[in-house]
């Protein structure tokens, strides 16, 4: 899958991608708001607090929304699923749903998902799959 798009990584997001390399989904979290947020940035987008933390997410979430993409994308074989996952921590992120057919019958909204990682060259990409391997 080396020809799939790679993220351009910046100093503020390096921790996220380093965590992924170690099989961890890391989120920024604001101690004042007691809430995680996404995507990463070194201040809380709610209160502006710069004194934010990095926490490992549970890796659990649910299928919040999706499309089945029939348009081309480098390294992808259409049709493939592009999903928005709602993490248990209350933040949304985009992922493909792995180990699951790109079929509305299999993609049931709110079904439980768990994080997994896809290797693209040196970069590990956070992905999601049906929790417990049930499609």
Binding flag, residue 117, other proteins (CB under 8 A) = no
- When binding is defined by CB under 8 A, the residue of 10, 18, 46, 88 that contacts other proteins is 10
Q: Label residues 72-87 b or e (16+ Cβ within 10 Å = b).
A: eeeebeeebbbbebbb
Count helices and strands in the chain by DSSP H and E runs: 1, 8
Number of residues in the chain: 135
Shorter beta-carbon distance to other proteins: residue 31 or 75: 75
Per-position b or e across 3-24, b if 16+ CB within 10 A of its CB? eeeeeeeeeebeebbebbeeeb
Choose the stretch contacting other proteins; rule: CB under 8 A; options: 9-17, 22-30, 50-58: 9-17
Query: CA-to-CA distance for 60 and 40, rounded, in angstroms?
Result: 18
In whole angstroms, the minimum distance from the beta carbon of 45 to other proteins comes to 9
Nearer to other proteins, 15 or 64 (CB): 64
What stretches of 1-135 show up as alpha helix (H) in DSSP? Answer: 14-21
Enumerate residues 52-111 that contact other proteins by CB under 8 A. 64-73, 76, 79-80, 82, 84, 92-96, 104, 109-110
- Residues lying near other proteins in the complex (CB under 8 A) are found at 4-10, 13, 38-39, 64-73, 76, 79-80, 82, 84, 92-96, 104, 109-110, 125
């Amino acid at each position: 899958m080396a020809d799939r798009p790679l993220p351009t990584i910046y100093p503020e997001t390096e921790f996220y991608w380093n965590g992924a390399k170690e099989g961890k989904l890391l989120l920024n979290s604001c101690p004042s708001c007691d809430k995680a947020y996404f995507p990463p940035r070194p201040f809380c987008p709610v209160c502006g607090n710069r004194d934010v933390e990095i926490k490992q997410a549970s890796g659990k979430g649910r299928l919040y929304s999706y499309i089945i993409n029939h348009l081309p994308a480098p390294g992808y074989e259409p049709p493939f699923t592009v999903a928005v996952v709602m993490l248990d921590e209350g933040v949304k992120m985009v992922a493909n749903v792995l180990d699951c057919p790109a079929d509305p019958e299999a993609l049931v909204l709110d079904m439980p998902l768990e994080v997994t990682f896809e290797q693209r060259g040196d970069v590990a990409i956070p992905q999601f799959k049906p929790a417990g391997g049930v499609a």
